[in-house]
Homo-oligomer: A and B are copies of this chain.
Amino acid sequence: MATKCTNCPLRRRSLFTEMSKDDVAFMEKFKVGELVVEANTPILMEGSNSPQLYTALHGLGLRHKTLSNGDRQVLNFVFPGDFIGLQAGILGEMGHSVEASTGMTLCVFDRSEFWNFFKHNPERAFDLTWLAAVEEHLLGDALATVGQRSALEATAWAITRVYQRADALGLVRNQTTRFPFKQKDLADALGLSLVHMNKTLKKLRDLQLASWSNGELHISDLNKLAEIGVIDLAKPSQRPLF
């Protein structure tokens, strides 16, 4: 049974901006159902023009591009609250693929209703653009990391960022959070080989900064980690939820 937007468990979290009753009702009309997928299921394919758009309610996934030679670049990890399919909605074509890494529950929206935001609800349209701008911002950071930082720095950066995102969602306990990805996923996100990723993680373990095993990420010294990763620890500001 699909949850009503009024009762959305995500909306309560302090990370997300308040939404008026009217807007919630507006979203309710837009929502056509929920999708439950198993781990390792493709959700959207690069180049596709999906009739449906999603918001991640529960579970984790990743966005990636696969080159014709088989190499894969992971662009980002998908957390609850993330909007999926903006490029399909706006450009008519996804520039990357999205897949579920764990089991996931997704809110499903009808793409044909997309235009209504712009026509009838400028605030929500603005929020949508806001999300696109943030995504651009994050990709810029990732590009700078992959382009300029060493393997140790990049790994520290990535781990710090994941931890911060999880923390903002209230998913951290005892400096530990669920991070059910493969080492290969992180390697592909940072442009490193799997072997070197493994050795770099070992180094962070030996330095007593962070350890990641059995899908659990534990942070021992966030400040030191942030320092190595050249990242500032400013609390992420509130963001709109779609």
A70-106 residues with Cβ-Cβ distance < 8 A to B are: 71-73, 75, 86-87, 90-91, 95-96
Chain B residues whose C-beta falls within 8 Å of the C-beta of A230 in the assembled complex: 67-69
Chain B residues whose C-beta falls within 8 Å of the C-beta of A25 in the assembled complex: none
Chain B residues whose C-beta falls within 8 Å of the C-beta of A142 in the assembled complex: 143
> Contact between B118 and A122 (Cβ–Cβ < 8 Å)?
yes
Give, as a whole number of angstroms, the nearest-CB distance from A83 to chain B: 12
Assembled-state Cα–Cα distance A60/B116 (Å): 37
Assembled-state Cα–Cα distance A95/B72 (Å): 26
Q: Which of A33-41, A130-138, A175-183, A200-208 lies at the interface with chain B?
A: A130-138
Chain B residues whose C-beta falls within 8 Å of the C-beta of A190 in the assembled complex: 147
- Known A128-B129, A144-B65: A134·B91 in contact at CB below 8 Å: yes
Indicate the member of A139, A147, A230 with the most B CB atoms within 10 Å. Answer: A147
A24-45 residues with Cβ-Cβ distance < 8 A to B are: none
A52-71 residues with Cβ-Cβ distance < 8 A to B are: 65, 67-69, 71
Give, as a whole number of angstroms, the nearest-CB distance from A123 to chain B: 8
Question: What are the 6 A-B residue pairs with the smallest beta carbon separation, nearest first?
Answer: A147-B191, A132-B132, A73-B144, A95-B137, A118-B122, A139-B139
Q: Which A residues contact B (CB, under 8 angstroms)?
A: 65, 67-69, 71-73, 75, 86-87, 90-91, 95-96, 115, 118-119, 122-123, 125-126, 128-130, 132-137, 139-144, 146-149, 188-191, 230
6 intermolecular pairs with C-beta atoms under 8 Å apart: A90-B130, A95-B137, A118-B125, A128-B129, A132-B136, A147-B189
